[in-house]
Amino acid sequence: MPDPFYLTTAINYPNGKPHIGHAYEAIAADVIARFQRWMGRKVRFQTGTDEHGLKMARKAAEQGRTPRELADEMASYFRAMDEVLNISFDRFIRTVEPEHHRASQALWQAMEAAGDLYLDRYEGWYSVRDEAYYDESELAGEGDEKLSPQGTPVEWTVEESWFFRLSKYQDRLLDLLRTPGFCEPESRRNEMIAFVSGGLKDLSVSRTSFDWGVKVPGSEGHVMYVWVDALTNYITGLGYPDDTEEWRRFWPASLHLVGKDIVRFHTVYWPAFLMSAGLPLPRTVFGHGFILNRGQKESKSLGNVTDPLELAERFGVDNLRYFLMREVAFGQDGSYSAEAIVNRCNAELANSFGNLVQRTLSMIVKNMNGDLERFEQTPADHELLKQVRKACAVDLPREFEALAFSQGLETWIQAVWACNRYVDDQAPWTLKKTDPDRMKAVLQTLLLAIHDLALALQPVVPEKAAAVLDMLGVDGDTRSHADFERDWFAALVDAGHTIAAPSPIFPRLELPEAESV
| CA separation, residue 328 to residues 28, 183, 335 (Å) | 11, 20, 8
With CB atoms as reference, the residue minimizing the distance to ligand MSP is 259
| CA separation, residue 185 to residues 223, 280, 359, 445 (Å) | 34, 22, 41, 40
Q: What is the spatial distance between Cα 56 and Cα 70, in angstroms, rounded to a whole number? A: 8
25 vs 348, beta carbon nearer ligand MSP? 25
236 vs 458, beta carbon nearer ligand MSP? 236
The interface region with ligand MSP, picked from 119-127, 191-199, 246-254, 259-267 by CB under 6 A, is 259-267
Taking CB under 6 A as the criterion, the residue among 5, 7, 10, 364 binding ligand MSP is 10
According to DSSP, the residues that pair with 156 across neighbouring strands are 125
| Helix residue ranges per DSSP H, 306-404 | 308-315, 317-327, 338-344, 355-368, 379-389, 396-401
Element (H, E) at 102: helix 98-113
262 vs 384, beta carbon nearer ligand MSP? 262
247 vs 290, beta carbon nearer ligand MSP? 290
3-class DSSP state for residue 127? strand
- Asked if the bond preceding 185 is cis, omega within 30° of 0, the reply is yes
152: closest CA among 42, 44, 54, 45?
A: 54
The answer for residues whose C-beta is within 8 angstroms of residue 474's C-beta and 6 or more apart is 451, 455, 488
Query: Cβ of residue 331: shortest distance to ligand MSP, in angstroms?
Result: 11
For ligand MSP, what does the binding mask look like between residues 205 and 244, x meaning CB under 6 A?
A: -------------------------xx-x-----------
Query: Cβ of residue 237: shortest distance to ligand MSP, in angstroms?
Result: 11
196 vs 291, beta carbon nearer ligand MSP? 291
Query: Cβ of residue 126: shortest distance to ligand MSP, in angstroms?
Result: 15
Pick out residues in 23-62 that bind ligand MSP (CB under 6 A): 24-25, 50
9 vs 445, beta carbon nearer ligand MSP? 9
CB atoms within 10 A of CB 268: 22
Q: What is the spatial distance between Cα 121 and Cα 125, in angstroms, rounded to a whole number? A: 13
Taking CB under 6 A as the criterion, the residue among 5, 7, 22, 467 binding ligand MSP is 22
Query: Cβ of residue 23: shortest distance to ligand MSP, in angstroms?
Result: 9
Query: Cβ of residue 471: shortest distance to ligand MSP, in angstroms?
Result: 35
| Helix residue ranges per DSSP H, 261-354 | 263-264, 270-277, 308-315, 317-327, 338-344
231 vs 474, beta carbon nearer ligand MSP? 231
Taking CB under 6 A as the criterion, the residue among 224, 238, 258, 456 binding ligand MSP is 258
460 vs 472, beta carbon nearer ligand MSP? 460
CB-based contact 241:278 (threshold 8 Å): no
Q: What is the spatial distance between Cα 269 and Cα 281, in angstroms, rounded to a whole number? A: 12
Taking CB under 6 A as the criterion, the residue among 5, 6, 7, 21 binding ligand MSP is 21
Query: Cβ of residue 298: shortest distance to ligand MSP, in angstroms?
Result: 7
Binding residues for ligand MSP, total number by CB under 6 A:
18
| Helix residue ranges per DSSP H, 427-508 | 428-434, 436-457, 462-472, 488-494
For ligand MSP, what does the binding mask look like between residues 290 and 329, x meaning CB under 6 A?
A: xx--------------------------------------
The interface region with ligand MSP, picked from 116-124, 150-158, 255-263, 406-414 by CB under 6 A, is 255-263
Taking CB under 6 A as the criterion, the residue among 262, 268, 274, 409 binding ligand MSP is 262
Query: Cβ of residue 461: shortest distance to ligand MSP, in angstroms?
Result: 20
Taking CB under 6 A as the criterion, the residue among 6, 12, 182, 203 binding ligand MSP is 12
Q: Which residue type occupies 156? A: W
Q: How many helices (H) and strands (E) does the chain have?
A: 21, 14
Query: Cβ of residue 154: shortest distance to ligand MSP, in angstroms?
Result: 17
Taking CB under 6 A as the criterion, the residue among 261, 307, 410, 483 binding ligand MSP is 261
- Asked if the bond preceding 252 is cis, omega within 30° of 0, the reply is yes
Taking CB under 6 A as the criterion, the residue among 259, 271, 408, 459 binding ligand MSP is 259
25 vs 82, beta carbon nearer ligand MSP? 25
CB-based contact 56:15 (threshold 8 Å): yes
Angle, vertex CA 145, rays to CA 142 and CA 151, nearest 5: 105
Q: What is the spatial distance between Cα 165 and Cα 26, in angstroms, rounded to a whole number? A: 33
230 vs 472, beta carbon nearer ligand MSP? 230
Which parts of this chain interact with ligand MSP (CB under 6 A)?
Answer: 10-13, 21-22, 24-25, 50, 230-231, 233, 258-259, 261-262, 290-291
